[in-house]
Structure 1
């Protein structure tokens, strides 16, 4: 689930847009009404507005007979089905994501065919109330959406609290205070809006008379839901025939999913291994390469894409450069030695990009040191190329800062050894073989950030102006083996650049 909007750092954020219902959601809901799709929002009415504005997920329960027509509408409106990884999937819950272009936000719509509840990692209980709740669903008094009738919302709140507030669930335990506070606020709000007798009658209809008084007392009396152990046991016993797995298998599956969750968290934060951990791209993943001269804004765009997509799907970044990005273990020791070796050379030979550059060709000492660097770089690029495309084949979206190429030697992530002297042929061939892999494994889309020389010189004052001009002229010649290439004017306002990039990336997903 996406994080709270207060913690967003998207440069395109607009305070006015934050409070507006997204046009894409409005269009979908209007289509549902126009085609007589039976649906309703079945979570707390206090948070339905967050779902409509894109600050939270929108959970809609659709009548089973209408599920295929509802999915057809979502696909027609540009939403796409993003399947969860196997250990987090539930056959009754479908995750659709869509790009609301005016706001730049990703809409996350959960399409529920059955009403399921339980632990966050394993929704093990089916609540067979879909039809009776749908018949009593009402139109929201102010918003363009159908919601639960308040008495049904209160009953469902009590049942969900009994099934979901369990400290044995690692996700719930981690967010225990926030979750218990959320249930307490919803409970207090509903207790002030509905009469006790109405809740008791509804509980008697759906749960039986023996539970009706206990459910009614749970809404109006103390203690809080998480401390009403007797009621929680009774609710679990009542719904035991509707479990997907028995207690033993459910426990083992929950443990397995918790282990996968921890491994996925570590991977997302630190390892960046090409393995899916949450939600995959439909039809397989994609490699998105962002290229441009230094100072064109590559790092900003890559960070923005990672944050934007990473809230809802599995995304890994890969840095193919040798600068300030994250190096591999192969290149890391050499980068530590660079500050020690650089003072040995007062000037850099012809072909270098930064620092004081002379007209002399590289010396044999410089060539020997650069050959070591070029060899390590070639090994790193070959390893990262393989990892990027393995990840894409597994359903990940891989966003790369730069991309190797063998069309232009000497710069723009091309082979380095052709401009050096005294390098044996076998070593040159070794490097060339690594870069030829990029030709065989092109990215799915290349975003070329185009800036004029003066803008680049202003952003990168240490870069040689002649090299800037040369590299800017070379960027259009890079074809990347027929990959889809999109050139974007990167000197326009950043919000416009990001909006254009998002539109192109979403198109290929």
Structure 2
């Protein structure tokens, strides 16, 4: 097993497993031990087998550490009874620990894992690794091989004339510790106790290059596992049909999600549903950078989308962008009308001022319609379980500031423009009812007067020198 450096391990993982050991939970890591380093570092998931009697204590511990459970669509391979995805955030590293928690290990086809075989008492031997003073139970090499062959029994495929079916060319990459040395090649037997005193054996061949299982033994193992689970008859045909239907729907949904993001439920979403996160703050504070970073972090495991509610270089309506290019040369006059309550500080009156006021009103209403559409779409995505990261959010606190209304109050009394002014106000009132679930304010930290005076004295001293 590759060593895990404590420096790269998430602090939340150390705290979690220390709490498990203190509470006396019966648990252990059973799969993907080769990626244990990535799992503890927050770059992969950890397959944890838990005794069903310790499930309430498990939920209590992970809830105290701000853990969240996720749910997935039934068409995906990881949806089965006794299996849950838990995510524990590590705020110090900007990552989260992903626990693939199993009450009982199930086997079957990739999209039809319906047969429980391995619970905690079924594991014959446990080892352990110590990281940063914390002992983490891991499955023994022999039990890891038994789990691998049982899973392979439902996925094996080879021509009918072949008696031995190879597990795969890269079978060594599936084991952190090879069960038997390569020099001890030859015929071996692995046994399964399937309840009621019934024992099923499966022969396999292991050499330095090949790990192969006997075809007849794999078929007998599949039948015995189905009978143990209460499924007798020709369930192999039903498993293949359900597997094919779910795989087809899975591929179709993934393709549609790429074409129309946010229009379909994601593969995995928080158990409490999706939510809207809004980043607000002055220009130049890095809202777009933080929105991209949050989207990248959450999109790794959850359905996540990004929305832009501003009027800058982000995504927007083509009509607004085209009109923005025409209005941009007159931006000083429009801003002057908006900030000085309709009194043009440039000192120009007459028809030009009326045209500028009308352009300002049309421009403001168009922006309000676009923002309202983005706000409604963000909440619509959230109802489907998507985490929506919004760059900016309409703030109707002050006119002309914080992405709020921009039509000056004096235009409410101008015939024709009063209709546009009231329309803009009504749109922002509707947007005020659609608040984000979480708002993050970005602010600039100003230096203290003492530190500023020190920097000034240092500059003066360097200039004198």
Identify whether the pair has TM-score above 0.5, normalized to the shorter chain: yes
Contact 2:48 2:99 in 1 (8 A): yes
Q: Post-superposition shift, 1:128?
A: 4.2
Output aligned runs, 1:45-194, within 5 Å.
Answer: 45-88=33-76, 89-128=79-118, 130-133=120-123, 135-140=124-129, 144-164=135-155, 183-186=171-174, 190=178, 192-193=180-181
Residue matched to 2:440? 447
Contact 1:59 1:110 in 2 (8 A): yes
Query: Cα 1:346–1:101, aligned 2, differ >3 Å: closer, same or farther?
Result: closer
Which residue, 216, 219, 222 being the options, matches 1:236? 222
Q: Post-superposition shift, 1:386?
A: 1.8
Question: SS where residue 139 of structure 1 aligns?
Answer: strand
Question: SS where residue 254 of structure 1 aligns?
Answer: helix
Distance 2:230 2:304 in 1: 31
Q: Post-superposition shift, 1:448?
A: 1.3
> Please, which moves more after superposition, 244-253 or 312-321?
244-253
Distance 1:78 1:66 in 2: 19
Say which one has the larger Rg: 2
Q: Post-superposition shift, 1:209?
A: 7.8
> Please, which moves more after superposition, 257-266 or 393-402?
257-266
Deviations 1:455-506 (A, max 9, x none): xxxxxxxxxxxxxxxxxxxxxxxxxxxxxxxxxxxxxxxxxxxxxxxxxxxx
Residue matched to 1:427? 420
> What 5-or-longer segments of structure 2 have no aligned partner?
159-166, 338-343, 448-465
Bigger fraction of residues in strand: 2
Question: SS where residue 380 of structure 1 aligns?
Answer: helix
Distance 1:198 1:402 in 2: 65
Query: Cα 1:38–1:189, aligned 2, differ >3 Å: closer, same or farther?
Result: closer
Distance 1:181 1:294 in 2: 55
Contact 1:287 1:397 in 2 (8 A): yes
Residue matched to 1:276? 265
Residue matched to 1:39? 27
Distance 2:5 2:319 in 1: 47
Residue matched to 1:409? 399
TM-score normalised to structure 2 length: 0.76
Contact 2:73 2:268 in 1 (8 A): yes
Distance 1:229 1:185 in 2: 23
TM-score normalised to structure 1 length: 0.70
Which residue, 358, 373, 397 being the options, matches 1:383? 373
Contact 1:267 1:273 in 2 (8 A): no
Residue matched to 2:308? 319
Deviations 1:186-237 (A, max 9, x none): 3695154489699945426569887432xx31x4387566x97666545433
Distance 2:395 2:28 in 1: 51
Question: SS where residue 24 of structure 2 aligns?
Answer: coil
RMSD of the alignment, in Å? 3.9
Q: Post-superposition shift, 1:57?
A: 0.6
